[in-house]
Amino acid sequence: MTDPTHKHQFIIDDLKRLEAESLLISIRTIESAADNWMVVDGQRVLNFCTNNYLGLANHPRLRAAAQQAIDRWGVGPAAVRTIAGTTALHRELEQRLAAFKGVEDALFVQSGFNANQAAIAPLVGKGDVIFSDRLNHASIIDGCRLSGAKIIVYAHCDPADAEAKIKEHLPRYRRGMLISDGVFSMDGDIAPLDGLYEVAQRYGVLTMVDDAHGEGVLGRGGRGIVDHFGLHGQFDVEVGTLSKAFGVVGGVIAGKKIIVDYIRQKARPFLFSSATTPADTAACLAAVDVLEESEDLVQKLWDNARYLRTGMDDLGFDTGHSQTPILPIMLGEAKLAKTFSRRLFEEGVFAMSIGFPTVPQGLARIRVMNTAAHSQDDLDFGLKVFAKVGRELGVIA
Ligand SMILES: *Cc1c(COP(=O)(O)O)cnc(C)c1O
């Protein structure tokens, strides 16, 4: 029997192990708004860490919209959406998001993570099968597990393997669903959505894509990965987030009306967790306004991304195989990545190291996230510091 005085020993042991393997997460405290430069743990640093792709998290129009919403609607939603929490703001945002994405309907939920918990279980359950990309986001994996369906993993971004898996497994189940991330958040590569859709369609399998890192980034004016591939309205479910390029917080489940309506009836995070606040919802609406009015921010993001990638490549860093502004600097061992990140911070650049389990063992990296809010001077400063630390630690010559 375990000694009752030592019932927490397993935690002490596990934390020791994480520390020894350089996998213990140390959490920095941010002391200013999310922007190109930020105050972090008391130090002013260039920010290469946030998912604030378009610089909207501290945009004057979004701030004003949030402030006005508080004056009119107060601060709290006071109920879940299905009881007394659906305001005119929520309905307007859902219609605007559906129009923006070129789909029939959309449902706004509390976060992207929640969207994946909400969207999957109503559509597949016990007796069904999900075909899931090997590198799908943790929130997709959890959403799949919650559904109770059998999960079959196919090789990363590989429609041929997805087809082989569907052929082999689908006949033994009631129905199937294929789920892929749109842009893979740690590598920045893009799912071959056309090929995956074609395969799923051929076998009558439901389709879902999570476009968290594609919205505001890919497609015309940031309309996302489905727009990038010209597959409007084809996917049964398009999950997204309002907390990355949109700069606020919240999740979206968009797609065919029949599916979104059904999810409204069934999704547990929608039925059992309170609505998003008026301020957040209004700020999301302002973000859609900004995106619909101009493509300038999306253009600036991509110009910055190209400049930074070319700069890092020229310095001799291994920048992986990203096709988007996500820029991994591949370092290998978690210990090196951690030291690298700490040295960057001391030199005035905030870029976090990412290790297992977020990325596979031995593929630790620094993930550099530029935004439309960065100037060329900012990027040049960042490159100068990466060069210095890279040489100091023997990563580049
Ligand atoms: C970030 C992310 C989420 C979570 O979105 P939140 O709005 O932060 O909860 C979900 N899916 C993917 C693919 C993501 O990258």
Examine the pLDDT at 165 and tell me if it is beyond 90. yes
User: Does residue 147 sit in the same domain as residue 274?
Assistant: yes
Query: Residue 143: CB within 6 Å of ligand 1?
Result: no
Of the residues 90, 244, 300, 374, which is catalytic? 244
What pLDDT score does 388 carry?
98
User: Does residue 250 sit in the same domain as residue 111?
Assistant: yes
C-alpha 397 to ligand 1 mean position (Å): 36
Mean pLDDT of 92-108: 97
Examine the pLDDT at 320 and tell me if it is beyond 60. yes
In a domain, 136, yes or no: yes
SS3 241: strand
Distance CA 196, CA 180 (A): 9
| 353 labelled catalytic | no
Structural element, H or E, at residue 158: none
Query: Residue 53: CB within 6 Å of ligand 1?
Result: no
Domain CATH code at residue 278: 3.40.640.10
State how far the alpha carbon of 145 is from the alpha carbons of 55, 92, 121, 157, 287, in Å: 34, 32, 9, 21, 32
Predicted TM-score of the model (pTM): 0.94
User: Does residue 318 sit in the same domain as residue 205?
Assistant: no
Query: Residue 137: CB within 6 Å of ligand 1?
Result: yes
Q: Which of 117, 120, 136, 139 to mutate to test the pocket of ligand 1 (most atoms within 8 A of CB)?
A: 139
In a domain, 6, yes or no: no
Order across the sheet with 353-354: list the strands: 326-332, 364-369, 353-354
User: Does residue 124 sit in the same domain as residue 193?
Assistant: yes
8 A C-beta contact, residue 250 and residue 241: yes
C-alpha 287 to ligand 1 mean position (Å): 17
Distance CA 387, CA 155 (A): 35
- Residue 300: other Cβ atoms inside 10 A: 18
| 213 labelled catalytic | yes
pLDDT in tens, 228-285: 999 998 999 999 999 999 999 999 999 999 999 999 999 999 999 999 999 999 999 9
What pLDDT score does 3 carry?
67
Query: Residue 181: CB within 6 Å of ligand 1?
Result: yes
User: Does residue 131 sit in the same domain as residue 273?
Assistant: yes
* Residue nearest (by alpha carbon) to ligand 1 atom 14: 212
User: Of the residues 273, 293, 313, which one is the last residue of a structural domain?
Assistant: 293
User: Of the residues 240, 270, 293, which one is the last residue of a structural domain?
Assistant: 293
| 244 labelled catalytic | yes
Query: Residue 210: CB within 6 Å of ligand 1?
Result: yes
C-alpha 251 to ligand 1 mean position (Å): 8
pLDDT band at 168 (very low <50, low <70, confident <90, very high): very high
Nearest residue to 109 (alpha-carbon basis) of 124, 120, 123: 120
Both tokens of residue 372?
């439309």
In a domain, 379, yes or no: yes
pLDDT band at 2 (very low <50, low <70, confident <90, very high): low
User: Does residue 110 sit in the same domain as residue 235?
Assistant: yes
Query: Residue 367: CB within 6 Å of ligand 1?
Result: no
Mean pLDDT of 356-371: 93
Distance CA 104, CA 247 (A): 24
In a domain, 208, yes or no: yes
User: Does residue 332 sit in the same domain as residue 271?
Assistant: no
Q: Which of 137, 208, 215 to mutate to test the pocket of ligand 1 (most atoms within 8 A of CB)?
A: 137
User: Does residue 265 sit in the same domain as residue 305?
Assistant: no
User: Does residue 255 sit in the same domain as residue 353?
Assistant: no
User: Does residue 175 sit in the same domain as residue 317?
Assistant: no
Distance CA 279, CA 69 (A): 5
User: Does residue 310 sit in the same domain as residue 353?
Assistant: yes
Give the total number of structural domains in the chain: 2
Of the residues 101, 137, 165, 213, which is catalytic? 213
Segments forming the whole domain that contains residue 253: 60-293
pLDDT in tens, 49-70: 999 999 999 999 999 999 999 9
Query: Residue 213: CB within 6 Å of ligand 1?
Result: yes
What pLDDT score does 22 carry?
82
Strand (E) positions, the chain? 37-40, 43-47, 105-109, 129-133, 150-154, 176-181, 206-210, 237-241, 251-255, 326-332, 349-350, 353-354, 364-369
In a domain, 16, yes or no: no
Examine the pLDDT at 338 and tell me if it is beyond 70. yes
Distance CA 335, CA 178 (A): 36
* Residue nearest (by alpha carbon) to ligand 1 atom 15: 212
In a domain, 83, yes or no: yes
pLDDT band at 26 (very low <50, low <70, confident <90, very high): confident
Domain CATH code at residue 299: 3.90.1150.10
Of the residues 180, 185, 243, 273, which is catalytic? 185
Mean pLDDT of 293-302: 98
In a domain, 1, yes or no: no
Query: Residue 212: CB within 6 Å of ligand 1?
Result: yes
Both tokens of residue 9?
């020993």
Average pLDDT of the residues of the chain = 96
In a domain, 15, yes or no: no
Greatest pairwise CA separation for the chain in angstroms: 66
